[in-house]
Every structure is written in C-alpha cells, then in structure tokens.
Structure 1
C-alpha cells in the first residue's frame, strides 16, 4: 500500500475516535438551556469528523486518482523533497502555540502567517503583510465579537 493510503488509514482512525468523542461524549454535560439550542459546542467537531472520514475513505479507496499512477513519495530520497521547509513549519507551529497566550492572538497569529509564508517562499512583502493582518483581524473579530469567545488580542503589558 502506498504512503498516502497509510496516512489516510491513520487519519481515518483519528477521525473515528474524534467523531466518537463528538457524537457520544461531548454533549453529556451540557446545561439544560444549551440543550435546546440548534447548534451545540459539538456541532463543528461532528461535521469535521464526518468530512475527515469522507476524505480519508476517498484516498483509501483510490477514488481521487483519475490519471495513470505517478511516482509515489520515495522515503529513501527524503533529501530531494523540501524537508527543511516542513520541519521549519512544524517548529513554527509549536512556537505559535506556545506564544499564543503570553504574546496575544493578534501579534502571534500575524507573525505566524508572515513567517510561514516567508518559509514557503513568498517574498512579496507588500502582499504578505496586508493579507496576514486582514486575516488575523478578521478571525479575531469573528471569534471575539460574533461568537463571544474572549481571546486576548494583545500581551498583558499592552492591556490585552
């Protein structure tokens, strides 16, 4: 079995476990007033687990491959791929997760998007900066104002 199918099999198992948690365990402790809401805290995890299972099954069954088989990833030649970029992005994700609370959402997310796009090869700063800032502020506004979930926008020393 090809590497993409093994990864899809692992992701299918993760989505099954996530879906089980979303469908059967997340809603047990809801307050009575929340049980009458049309959208529960488990709605998005339920949708996400179903979509993940569908995507993993499509890859496992080979439905997405319509053209003749191309070369699979050769794990013996990992140095031919952009392994450095992938490892830098993984490291950047860890740093982002660690800096999210102390640095604040706006600064850490903007820095993550700008540095991530720089690692991936984008060098047009006049495009990269506005896109990262608009995306960060839009997501923060949706989470903070629309959903009503408090997210510290700035570090504590700036009043966040």
Structure 2
C-alpha cells in the first residue's frame, strides 16, 4: 500500500476516535437550556469528523487517483522531500499550542505566523509582520467581539 494510503488509514482512525468523542461524550454534561440550542459545542467537531472520514475514505478507495504515476509519494526517497520544513512546522505547532496561554493569543499567533512563513521561505519581513498582525487582529476581533467568545489577548503577567 502506498504511503498516502497508510497516512489516510491512520487519519481515519484518528477521525473515528474524534467523531466518537464528539457524538457520544462531549454533550453528556450540557446544561438543560443548552440542549435546546440548534448549535452545540460539539457541532463543529461532528462536522470535522464526518468530513475527515469522507476524505480518508476517498484516499483509501483511490477515488482521487489520476492516470499520472509521478504524483505518488515514494517512501524510499523521503529525504528528497522538504522533510525538515515539515518537521519544523510540526514543532512550531506544538510550541504554539504550549505558548497560547502564557503568551496570549495576539503574541503567540503573530509569532506562529511570522516564524511559519519564515520556515516556508518568505524573507520579506515587512510583509510577514503586516500579514501576521492583520490576520491575528482580525481573527481575535471576530472571535472576541463578533462571536462573544473571550480569548486572552495578552500574556497573563501583563493582565491579559
């Protein structure tokens, strides 16, 4: 089996566990008034799990395959791919998750976007900072003010 199918099989298992959690365990402790709402806290995870399962099944069944044989990932030549960039981005994602509370949303998200674009090869610092700040402030404003969900914008030691 090709590498993409192995990855899809692993992701299918993750999506099934995530879907089970979303469908059967997340809503057990909801308050009675929340159970009458049309959208529950588990609605988005349910949709994500269904879409993930569909995408994994499409890959496993080979429905996305084209006639080209060159597009397959050769697991024997993994060093020919940009493996270092991928591993750095995965490490950056873990660091972002760990720094989100101590550094606040604005600082950690801006740093993640700037460092991520640097890892991917962007070297125009003025563009990286501008895009990262606009994206971070836009997402924070939409979540905080429009949706009304509190996100700590600043580090805890500053008063965020």
Give the corresponding residue for 1:85. 85
- Alignment map for 1:102-113 (pairs within 5 Å): 102-113=102-113
Which range is displaced more, 77-86 or 65-74? 65-74
Aligned residue in 2 for 1:143: 143
Q: Give the gaps of 5 or more residues in structure 1.
A: none
Distance 1:17-1:156 versus aligned 2 partners, 3 A rule: closer
Q: CA RMSD in A?
A: 1.5
Contact 2:26 2:42 in 1 (8 A): yes
More displaced stretch, 148-157 vs 10-19: 148-157
Runs of 4+ in 1 over 4 A off after TM superposition: none
29-38 or 117-126, larger mean C-alpha shift: 117-126
- The answer for the alignment partner of 2:14 in structure 1 is 14
> What does the per-residue CA deviation read over 1:120-160, in whole Å, with 9 as the maximum and x for residues that have no partner?
01122232222211111121122222332221111133331
**Which residue of 1 is the match for residue 72 of structure 2?**
72
More displaced 10-residue stretch of structure 1: 91-100 or 50-59? 91-100
- Superposed displacement of residue 67, structure 1: 2.8
Aligned length: 160
Query: Which residue in the other structure is 1:154 paired with?
Result: 154
TM-score when normalising by structure 1: 0.92
1:53 maps to 53
CA contact (8 A) 2:96 2:112 kept: yes
